[in-house]
Amino acid sequence: MHIYAIGDLHLSGEPPAKPMEIFGEHWLGHKEKIKANWLATVTDEDTVIVCGDISWAMGLANAAEDLHWLAQLPGRKLLLRGNHDYWWSSLAKMQQMYGDAFEFIQNDCLLAGTTAICGTRGWVLPSAEGFTEDDEKIYKREAIRLEMSLQAAQKLQPERIICALHYPPLFAADERTLFTDLMEKYGVTNCVYGHIHGENHVLTFEGERDGVTYKLVSCDTQGFQLTKII
């Protein structure tokens, strides 16, 4: 069993209501690239963490085509909310409609073998230009949600903990945030995140720091391939 991660699929139906190639030619046919790489990589015994921005749909019912497409791909799929996932609804509604196809990471953790998978959406960081009081409230709220997830993992005494976020938990190698502090406090081994695209990916920290290995998994920055974590 392997654990993979991928983020920012940005699906929008077929034909796509929002063609992603407007953001660069490398996005042309990105849905087909993701599917081909997924089928060549993932088996039904594997687990895939999807780090948000899954569908451009504005409501849960409107996301049905995109979620059905994703559901047909192999592997156990753990979904995390991104900033563009406006279709994301209450946990009860999502489980009722798609509980057979997906599991949703929301204020809790999920086990894959002896690995606990935790996470939350995250938010812009205090180091960001134009960071506001409203941003600070959301930032602190997301940190509370992450700690709830990590506390749930701690009770299970897993062999390792993977933390999944949509937003990057840090940019500079020496940046300290509520998210990085919590991951170090609870012994997270790996952190995967998305949100960042194109050439902007060079601005984010990737690598090991204080026992946590950070990895950007936005699909366009990874050649539309999944990243093996475990």
Q: Is the pTM of the predicted complex or chain greater than 0.85?
A: yes
pLDDT band with cut points at 50, 70 and 90 for residue 173:
very high
User: What does the pLDDT read at residue 50?
Assistant: 98
User: What does the pLDDT read at residue 55?
Assistant: 97
Give the tokens for residue 195. Answer: 């949100």
Peptide bond connecting 15 to the previous residue in cis, omega within 30 degrees of 0 = yes
Look at the block and give the residue holding tokens 């069993």. 1
> Phi, psi (5° rounding) for residue 176?
-115, 130
3-class DSSP assignment, residue 47: strand
Q: What is the mean pLDDT of residues 22-51?
A: 94
User: What does the pLDDT read at residue 179?
Assistant: 98
Rounded Cα distance, 13 and 9, in Å: 12
pLDDT band with cut points at 50, 70 and 90 for residue 13:
confident
- Torsion sign (Cα): 93, 97, 103, 104: negative
Q: What is the mean pLDDT of residues 87-113?
A: 94
Task: Domain 3-228: give its CATH superfamily.
Answer: Metallo-dependent phosphatases (3.60.21.10)
User: What does the pLDDT read at residue 25?
Assistant: 85
214 within 8 A of 184, measured Cβ to Cβ: no
Query: Worst-scoring range by mean pLDDT, 12-21, 112-121, 178-187?
Result: 12-21
User: What does the pLDDT read at residue 201?
Assistant: 56
Average model confidence (pLDDT) for the chain? 94
Structural domain spans, the chain = 3-228
Residue 220 has pLDDT above 90, yes or no: yes
What type of residue sits at position 143? A
User: What does the pLDDT read at residue 207?
Assistant: 96
User: What does the pLDDT read at residue 202?
Assistant: 61
Termini Cα distance of the chain = 9
